[in-house]
Chains A and B, each alone.
Chain A
Amino acid sequence: MLTRIRAPEEAPTEVGAELGSVSLRGVCKTFPAPHRCAAPVTALDDVSLEARAGQIVAVVGPSGCGKTTLLELVCGLIEADAGAVDAAPAALMAQRDLLLPWQSAVDNAALALRVAGLARDAARRQASVLLRDFGLEGFERARPHELSGGMRQRVAFARTLLSGRTVLCLDEPFAALDALTRQEMQDWLAGALAVQPRTVMLVTHDVEEAIVLADRVAVLSPRPARVVATLDVDVPRPRRRTDPRLVALRERALQELRA
């Protein structure tokens, strides 16, 4: 099922304070050996990375290189072994939508508001405004299994936005979608972030996704992850995928990945 996705026209939620920033300096993280015969796994080795307020920073790297570990550090879910992680409170959005199957779309979107102690009705009102802006009008009461993959990710993104965090950590948010829906969702996300700016750490293994969406792209090496290159994407939005500057940057990023 294909629905037209329209970017939100007005900011429904105000992030009152200024946008937060993220800074990692010389961060190392090693996990204990999974079993006795294995060596400890070094996920991150001296990683430095910065996202200034309102910036979208994409992190690309080979599968299993420690990208998710990076986001968990930023979200404060784990502690670094060495180095400094300095980040405003961040909300995490994963590849799997992680919607609660027993709740409607609107209640799923309102989850963070409920955690914050908002009454059910007020939380629903706020969430349904955002869902409408995300092109989900009429689906507020649908359960997740009644929604398409793209719609579910939009509900999950609404939930992430409504957490009120100014830093968003997106962990391969569209990797589970088919190619067509993925492109559509990338354009949609670019539009949504243009209206509601956030500081974003976007982890992906899709180089094109990184270049199309981000202000800056950090390329990681295979494990243990290290930043091997940082590319600035100085191309104004809205961007076209066929823009020669983007194509050239994509080539460079791919070269760095293979190096």
Chain B
Amino acid sequence: MMAVLLLLALGAVWEAYAQFSGIEDIVLPAPSAVLAALYDDRALLWSNFTVTAGEIGLGMLVALVLGLACAVAIHFSSALRRALYPLLIGSQTIPIVLVAPLLVAWWGFGLMPKLAIVALVCFFPIVVPTLDALDRVDADLRKLMRTFGASRWQTFRMVEAPAALPGVLTGAKLSVAVAAIAAVLAELAGSDAGLGNLMLKAIPQYETARAFAAVLILSVFAVTLFGLLALVERRLLPWARQSRGSAP
């Protein structure tokens, strides 16, 4: 609610500035112009949005699968932890801006390079909280399972994996925001469709309002995705919220 009010206030200031300062529409379009572009170009925006949304969704899915597999592997093997963790951190320093055009050169203008970049960017924020949650499982709980004669796998399935779920959700929420930026970046490096592609083409066509409309759609999408994940968390893991307050 407060966020909406703040947004309205900012929009009003922006509108007033754009209207009365005499600034060119192609430099800074007024919010009303952005909304008008949103309506006028709705078909164009929608068709490009579906492309970008697909890249974000699929990329996050790939990151989730690989990230969870990696976290579990590291959790089970201290040798893998020593081998993979430094590489993981190293992977985060790869300058995406440089790699993106290379990936386009290898794989063309299609979905593949976008998937790779979104997944690469989302991978780390998913692995770290998941691994952290796995590591923080109570050592006494593991001992308890051992006195019950539980195998390593049973302990993982019955105790560690459920305990790590909140970490997975946190990771997914963190990766939503970076996923949107990564998708646009990947499209800027070479693409024939998508909101990033649209932005890139709109500026030289003096359609700044349309570029702004694309940005607006992208952020609404990211916020919606985040909200959905928060909802899933609340429905699926009510215990994670309630037990946090009473933990010893």
Binding site for B on A (CB under 8 A): 72, 75-77, 89-92, 94, 96, 98, 100-102, 111-112, 114-116, 143-145, 163, 165, 176
Contact = CB atoms under 8 A, between A and B. Distances in A.
B102 to A, nearest CB: 44
Interface stretch (B136-144, B175-183, B224-232): B136-144
Contacts of A143: 238-239, 242
A91 B147 contact: yes
B154 interface: yes
23 contacts: A72-B143, A77-B146, A77-B147, A89-B149, A91-B147, A92-B143, A92-B147, A96-B248, A98-B140, A100-B141, A100-B158, A100-B162, A100-B163, A102-B162, A102-B163, A102-B237, A115-B149, A116-B149, A143-B238, A143-B242, A144-B243, A145-B246, A163-B148
A115 B243 contact: no
A112 B154 CA distance: 11
A143 B241 CA distance: 13
Interface residues of B, number: 24
Given A102-B237, A143-B239, A145-B243, A115 B140 contact: no
A98 B138 contact: yes
Nearest to A169: B147
Given A112-B148, A115-B158, A144-B243, 17 more contacts: A72-B143, A75-B143, A77-B147, A92-B143, A92-B144, A94-B144, A98-B144, A102-B237, A102-B239, A111-B148, A115-B149, A116-B149, A143-B238, A143-B242, A145-B246, A165-B147, A176-B248
A115 B243 CA distance: 24
A94 B159 CA distance: 17
A96 B143 contact: no
Contacts of A144: 243
Contacts of A101: 239-240, 242-243
A72 B238 CA distance: 33
Contact of B148 (A72, A100, A115, A176): A115
Given A91-B147, A145-B242, A163-B148, A114 B140 contact: no
Contacts of A116: 148-149
B239 A145 contact: yes
Interface of B: 138, 140-141, 143-150, 154, 158-159, 162-163, 237-240, 242-243, 246, 248
A38 B240 CA distance: 39
Contacts of B149: 89, 115-116
User: 8 nearest interchain CB pairs?
Assistant: A101-B243, A101-B239, A112-B148, A115-B150, A102-B239, A115-B148, A92-B147, A145-B242
Contacts of B237: 102
B183 to A, nearest CB: 34
A105 B147 CA distance: 20
Contacts of A98: 138, 140-141, 144
Contacts of B150: 115
A92 B141 CA distance: 10
A153 B149 CA distance: 21
A99 to B, nearest CB: 10
Contacts of A77: 143, 146-147
A98 B247 CA distance: 11
A17 to B, nearest CB: 16
A25 B55 CA distance: 67
Contact of A91 (B148, B159, B238, B246): B148
Contacts of B141: 98, 100
Nearest to A72: B143
A72 B52 CA distance: 56
Contacts of B248: 96, 176
Given A77-B143, A92-B143, A94-B144, A111 B239 contact: no
Contacts of A72: 143
B154 A115 contact: yes
A76 B148 CA distance: 11
A98 B246 CA distance: 13
A123 to B, nearest CB: 12
A165 to B, nearest CB: 8
Contacts of A94: 140, 144
